[in-house]
Every structure is written in structure tokens, then in C-alpha cells.
Amino acid sequence: MKMILCITGERWVGMEEDNKKKEWREYAREITSEVRFKPEVLQGIRVLDVSVANPSANITSSLLAELGAEVIKVEPPEGDPLREISPFGEFYFDGTGLDFLIESRNKKFITLNLEKEEGRELFKRMVSRSDVVIESFQPGWMDEKGIGYRQLREIRPDLIYLAFSAYGHFGPKAEELSKIPDSNLLGLANSGFMYSTKELPEAGEPYNLPTAPGFWMGYYLCALWGVCGVLLSLIHRNRTGEGQMIDVTSTEAASKITQQLIWSHAFGEPLEIGVLPLDPAVFSYSFYEIKDGYAFASGYTDANFKALITQIEAEHLMEKYPTVFDRIPLEKQRQAYKDVQEAIKKFTFKELAERMVKWGEEGKEGVAIYAKVMTSKEVLEDEFWWDKGDFTVYKDRRFSLLLPTTPWRLSETPFRLKWLGKRVGENNYQVYKELLGFGREDLEDLHKNNII
């Protein structure tokens, strides 16, 4: 039997048997919630984030910082313009908006003017002692200034270089549209995602216009691919000693999840697309009004549809819509939706969930799936998510702020939130002293010459 051993004085204590006796949920909570004395997976990795006005890059460096990397956010002397973006125009801390504040997790903040030759020389010196560079300048700008990937890899051959842009670093559009900055809606629009989630034509304008989610979906998708690229590059570097460049755009990130692109190609023609409650590919895959709000209900294969309508006491609908092909055409879906809505509205979500579970426990064929449509208020008031640690309230002497936490539950290398909210250049002295050996007089001279 494999033993997990620890030393208490001179006595070896076996812990494996104790762990086996614990109820699984208790064990899972214990190993993923206890973070003291556990290492950070990116400890020892230094990241220079020189991106400007790019949320994808900012989110990426935040996630890397939570995993233990030393992230140095390099802003222009006047600060990153991203600091000025905030819901309702309200600033939360020293002229810094909510979006930037949330994504300032665990970072050190310095200033450096890359427009000036002396600033670029200092940047090169910092790169020689760093592992990752993140940038979001116009493709080719860094290279033109002598601080692009091919110049920096001469200084640091194993450097990982992550570049965010609207259209990437090669190809006709990359050159023609290089001056267009990346944006959340640009990625969702160019990828086909926004069109695929528009309402059906009969909804009428403006309801049948292309739509976008009310949050930074494009930016976050792009950031997640950026993080994956860095982590994969670190694995490759550990194996080979080689660095590499990573080219990421929000359009390509959003295209990865736009299934309608695959459908259009597979079926040889554009599909009539609409957002829920009707879906041109499947039914039922819809949300309905129920007794205590709204619920999503799925049951689109014949067996699954039978499970759904039986659980809502509408078995007669199987005679009306016996096969998938009797439900998918939109002219039939419209009526089928009304029929299911009429039956499901008399149930609460708890009742639907209980029937779903009972159906599975009895081993009956088919699976119906229900999900409660929650409001933001309901989510924040649900103790389950707080118990899981999905939200936390960060407090220090300056402000108090609710944050959604990073959803990883790593049992051996947990993420950590250490601090939020640094002023422009707040860590100049610390970072320039540690990396370049500069003193306060040196920094004063740099400041006078608009280098920092």
C-alpha cells in the first residue's frame, strides 16, 4: 500500500488510511482549500507586461500572477489608458476604473517610455533577466523599434513572447488593418459569433440585429488562449531550452467556439441562425418560463425529448413530434416551443430537478437536463458559490471590492490573491533597484528626461 508519510518529532505517521476514511466531498474540500505552505506553480518566472490599452493582455498577466509569476506591468509614464475605462464612468481608486483595478492582481507597476531610445535600452536589460514578454502594440512596431521578438531573442534565447493584436502578425489583413486596435466586439463580430446569436427575423428590428454578450467575452477568451500559450511554451522550454513567439487575436479565439462556422461548411450553405428560445439545429434546447422564474430545458434526441415531455406530464407531445425531424424545422419548432411552454410552466425548478434525478436513478432511457436561469443578485446571494470560494471580498485600508476568484481548484499548486490596486509607477524604486541596480538619484534623472 502506498503510504504518505510525515515526520512529527522522530515518529513517522501514515496518513493514507485516514484519507480513505473521509467522505469524498470532505476530502476534496480539504486538499483544494488548504493553501498554506504549498508552492506556486509559476514561482521564479518573471513576466514583463508592456501591453497598452488591451484587456486581453491585462487579464493574461493577472492569471499568470495568481499562479505565482512575478508580473511587472510596464506602463507609459502617463499610465495605461485602460485605467480610465470603468462602468458608469466611476473611478474606484486614484483615478483607476473598476476593470483595470480587478485585473491588477498581484502585479508590480512601473513606468517606462518605450518611445525613447534610452527607455528601450532599459527594457532590453530587463528582458535579459525575464522569462516572458507580453505586448499589444501595432504588429511590427516593436520590431521596428529594435525590441521585437527577433531582437529580444538574441538577448534572451529562451524568451517567451506573447503578442496580442486585432489581425495577427502576418497575412493581407494583418498589414492592411494593422492600425486597428483589438477590441472585444471586433473579435465577436469578425468571428461570426455575433451574427450567429441574433434573433430570428420575425422578432423585428432592433431585436433581430446581431447581438453580443454584455461582458468582455472576447477579451477573456483571448486571454485564456494567451495563458495556455505561455504555459505550453514554458513546458516546451523546460524540455528543449527554446523560447518562442505566440500570436493571438480575439477573432481567432472567438472563432474557436463559433460552432455555426462548422455547420455552414458541413451543410454547404448558411444557416438561419437565432438565439434561444429557438435553435436551428436542435429542439428542445431552450429556456422557458416556469413557476418560480425561468429554466433552461434540453431534450433534443428522440429518447431525451421523451424523457423531457414525460417529466413535465406532456407525453401526448411524442405523438405530435415523434422524431427529431418533426421538431427541428423552425415552422414546427415555433409550435413545439409553445406546447412545451404550456406544460412546463406549472413546475418549480426544484420539482423539475427532482424528476430529472429520479428518472436517472430508475434507469429509464433518455436524459432531460434543466438549469435555473439565475439573476446576478441570485448568484451573489447563493451560499453555495461562496462556500466553494468562487467569490471573495478584498479589503485593505483604501477600498473594499467583491471579486470573482479564478475557478481553478489546484490541490498542490493553488492560485493566490495577494494584493490589488497599485498606482502608476508605484513599484519603480523596488523594481529598478532589483533588476538594474538603480538608486533614487538615477530614477530622478530618468523621470526628468521623461524616461519613466
Query: What CATH number did the domain enclosing 346 receive?
Result: 3.30.1540.10
Q: Find the mean pLDDT for residues 346-362.
A: 96
Q: Residue 255 — very low, low, confident or very high, per pLDDT cuts 50/70/90?
A: confident
104 and 234 part of one domain: yes
183 and 291 part of one domain: no
67 and 9 part of one domain: no
100 and 20 part of one domain: no
Query: CB of 201 within 8 A of CB of 134?
Result: no
Is 67 among the domain residues? yes
How far is it, in rounded angstroms, from Cα 158 to Cα 27? 40
Q: Is 37 exposed, middle or buried (0-12, 13-18, 19+ CB in 10 A)?
A: exposed
190 and 82 part of one domain: yes
Please report the pLDDT score of residue 368 as a whole number.
96
State the pairing for strand pair 293-298/285-290: antiparallel
- Reading the block at residue 400, the C-alpha cell is 473594499
Task: Please write down the long-range contacts of 392-399, taking CB distance under 8 Å and 24 or more positions apart.
Answer: 392/417, 394/420, 396/420, 396/421, 398/93, 399/92, 399/93
171 and 84 part of one domain: yes
132 and 53 part of one domain: yes
Query: CB of 103 within 8 A of CB of 55?
Result: yes
Determine what percent of the chain falls in helix, strand and coil, rounding each to the nearest 5.
45, 15, 40
367 and 328 part of one domain: yes
Query: CB of 148 within 8 A of CB of 186?
Result: no
- Give how many domains the chain has, as a whole number: 3
Is 380 among the domain residues? no
How far is it, in rounded angstroms, from Cα 338 to Cα 379? 29
Please report the pLDDT score of residue 210 as a whole number.
78
What range does the domain containing 16 cover? 1-33
62 and 29 part of one domain: no
Q: Residue 134 — very low, low, confident or very high, per pLDDT cuts 50/70/90?
A: very high
Is 388 among the domain residues? no
Judge whether residue 6 has pLDDT over 60: no
Per this entry, what is the length of the chain? 452
Phi then psi dihedrals of residue 323, to 5 deg = -130, 165
How far is it, in rounded angstroms, from Cα 115 to Cα 385? 46
Is 265 among the domain residues? no
Query: CB of 298 within 8 A of CB of 284?
Result: yes
Least confident of 63-77, 267-281, 298-312, 317-331: 267-281
State the pairing for strand pair 160-165/244-249: parallel
Return the sign of the alpha-carbon dihedral for residues 93, 97, 98, 103: negative
Is 244 among the domain residues? yes
199 and 322 part of one domain: no
CATH of the domain at 406: 3.40.50.10540
Judge whether residue 276 has pLDDT over 70: no
How far is it, in rounded angstroms, from Cα 227 to Cα 57? 9
Please report the pLDDT score of residue 173 as a whole number.
82
In whole angstroms, how far apart are CA 57 and each of 65, 68, 159, 406? 12, 17, 17, 16
How far is it, in rounded angstroms, from Cα 114 to Cα 126? 13
239 and 297 part of one domain: no
Query: CB of 369 within 8 A of CB of 381?
Result: no
How far is it, in rounded angstroms, from Cα 249 to Cα 129? 27
Is 39 among the domain residues? no
How far is it, in rounded angstroms, from Cα 69 to Cα 92? 26
Nearest of 347, 354, 359, 358 to residue 306 by alpha carbon? 359
Nearest of 87, 124, 88, 115 to residue 102 by alpha carbon? 87
106 and 245 part of one domain: yes
Is 13 among the domain residues? yes
Is 91 among the domain residues? yes
- Global pTM reads 0.89
- pLDDT tens-digit series, residues 190-246: 888 887 777 777 667 776 777 777 778 889 999 999 999 999 999 999 999 999 999
